[in-house]
Structure 1
Amino acid sequence: MTTLTALQAATADPSGGSLITRFADWAVHLMEVIGAPGAALAIALENLFPPLPSEVILPLAGFTASRGSFSLVEALLWTTIGSIVGAYALYWVGRALGRTRTRAIVGWLPLVDLEDVDKVEAWFDRNGAKAVFFGRMIPIFRSLISIPAGITKMNQGKFLGLTAAGSLIWNSIFVLAGYYLGENWHIVEAYADVFQKIVIVGVVLLLVLWIVLKIRKTRAKKNAAMQDADAAK
């Protein structure tokens, strides 16, 4: 059985193939045809389009390496290169957007004040390095964290170094899992899926809490303004 056939069997979907399964099949074919650079390309696309799952691509790269299509070192190297390329592209999206355009866009959003933007920028100026490094190991934020880094014009060398370090840790976990689990590589996907859902639920809860607090704050300001107006009469 060839590597491609084995991988396709492992990713087979009896329901006819979801988008994720089709992307996995495409990634499998890419790695089979052009080797480890195919994993880099797939991971770069995953960074640009967060719904594409690195939790599937990375174990597949490890599985492919375990079958001799390329070495484990190549799998780790090229997937990390792909992560850096994708993150750097989003960094430049942030640079192109810039602070001025970001503030203009935010000004149109309901419940969001420019004061909130200033607070976020101040927080990122203080904690940007940690945010980029650890953000590379959190689903969803892995890609998005590059944009504020670009908006705030974080030093490019610093950004690339932190991105490389964080990506190497994240990628190594999943590539090694796929390498040692072999045809059972998909086991890691289930655990990663649970982690991603926990992150999503946490983000939603924080967003709801933020909206509630903003509504209360807005109402309090209106009430205070009305009381001041009544007192002035």
Structure 2
Amino acid sequence: MFDKVVEIVSAFGYLGVFALMLLENIFPPIPSELIMPLAGFVAARGELNFAGVMAAGTAGSVVGALPWYYAGAKLGKERMKRLAKRWGYWLTMSPEDIDKASGWFDRHGKGAVFFGRLIPAVRTLISVPAGIVGMPMLLFLAYSTLGSLIWTALLALSGFVLESQYEKVSQYLDPISTGVVVSMVVYYLYRLARQRFAGRR
């Protein structure tokens, strides 16, 4: 899995990094904790520019947050919760997840968008309450971009710094990265089954 993801990033370049990070924010097929370090590896090998990798990863993350912002703005909290109850299991999103994100936003204010982008469990859904309360788009984009830039830069830098140990690190990360993806799939299926069962009850 390690080598395959590196090959994908190498083949599609910045567009691949952008697309993977966009999808990771809408529906996480591969977590950013795996995407960006491997993009950093590719940059360290000279195939991509490190600044370009950070820009592509940040742009994908921010663009991926917009559908959730607009969903919150157009639908409101209660309709979002009803949709999550009926259809959210496809995205492993529950009404409780929306309540948690809203609670985080209520406690931390608009700065929650910035800090939320740094926290894996909150990063995606923090856009929903921002849309619900009508947070100004420019401010939302500014906080989202800054938080996403820090997150993607740290992850990419870890891969960039370890490039000199690529062969050694890959021996350890290959089974780990495969395990991460398999775990994500298993966790998704578990939440899907649990939420569908809860919906039927």
Residue among 59, 63, 72 paired with 1:81: 59
Which structure has the larger Rg over C-alpha atoms? Answer: 1
1:196-233 CA-partner distances (Å, limit 9, x unpaired): xxxxxxxxxxxxxxxxxxxxxxxxxxxxxxxxxxxxxx
Q: Is the 8 A contact 1:50 1:140 kept in 2?
A: no
Residue among 138, 143, 148 paired with 1:157: 138
Displacement after TM superposition at 1:123 (Å): 7.1
Displacement after TM superposition at 1:124 (Å): 3.2
Percent identity of equivalent pairs: 40
CA 123–78 in structure 1, closer or farther in 2 if over 3 Å, else same: closer
Rounded Cα–Cα distance in structure 1 between residues aligned with 2:85 and 2:15: 42
Say if 2:74 is the partner of 1:96. yes
**Secondary structure of the residue that 1:35 maps to in structure 2?**
helix
CA 91–107 in structure 1, closer or farther in 2 if over 3 Å, else same: closer
Residue among 12, 16, 39 paired with 1:61: 39
Rounded Cα–Cα distance in structure 1 between residues aligned with 2:16 and 2:133: 32
**Secondary structure of the residue that 1:142 maps to in structure 2?**
coil
Which residue of structure 1 aligns with residue 19 of structure 2?
A: 41
Rounded Cα–Cα distance in structure 2 between residues aligned with 1:106 and 1:70: 39
CA 141–62 in structure 1, closer or farther in 2 if over 3 Å, else same: same
Say if 2:141 is the partner of 1:136. no
The one-letter code sitting in structure 2 at the alignment partner of 1:38 is G
Does 42-51 or 58-67 show the bigger shift? 42-51
Q: Is the 8 A contact 1:99 1:152 kept in 2?
A: no
Q: Is the 8 A contact 1:30 1:39 kept in 2?
A: no
| Higher RCO by CA contacts (8 Å cutoff, separation 6 or greater) | 2
Unaligned runs of 5+ in 1: 1-7, 13-24, 194-233
Which residue of structure 2 aligns with residue 180 of structure 1?
A: 161
Q: Is the 8 A contact 1:94 1:151 kept in 2?
A: yes
Q: Is the 8 A contact 2:105 2:126 kept in 1?
A: no
| Total equivalences in the alignment | 160
The one-letter code sitting in structure 1 at the alignment partner of 2:128 is I
Q: Is the 8 A contact 1:50 1:143 kept in 2?
A: no
Rounded Cα–Cα distance in structure 2 between residues aligned with 1:151 and 1:46: 22
Q: CA RMSD in A?
A: 3.1
Rounded Cα–Cα distance in structure 2 between residues aligned with 1:157 and 1:74: 23
CA 170–123 in structure 1, closer or farther in 2 if over 3 Å, else same: closer
Rounded Cα–Cα distance in structure 2 between residues aligned with 1:76 and 1:64: 12
Displacement after TM superposition at 1:34 (Å): 2.6
Rounded Cα–Cα distance in structure 2 between residues aligned with 1:59 and 1:95: 33
Displacement after TM superposition at 1:100 (Å): 5.0
Displacement after TM superposition at 1:122 (Å): 8.3
Rounded Cα–Cα distance in structure 1 between residues aligned with 2:85 and 2:19: 36
Displacement after TM superposition at 1:32 (Å): 2.0
Q: Is the 8 A contact 1:128 1:149 kept in 2?
A: no
TM-score norm. by structure 2 comes to 0.67
**Secondary structure of the residue that 2:123 maps to in structure 1?**
helix
Displacement after TM superposition at 1:128 (Å): 2.9
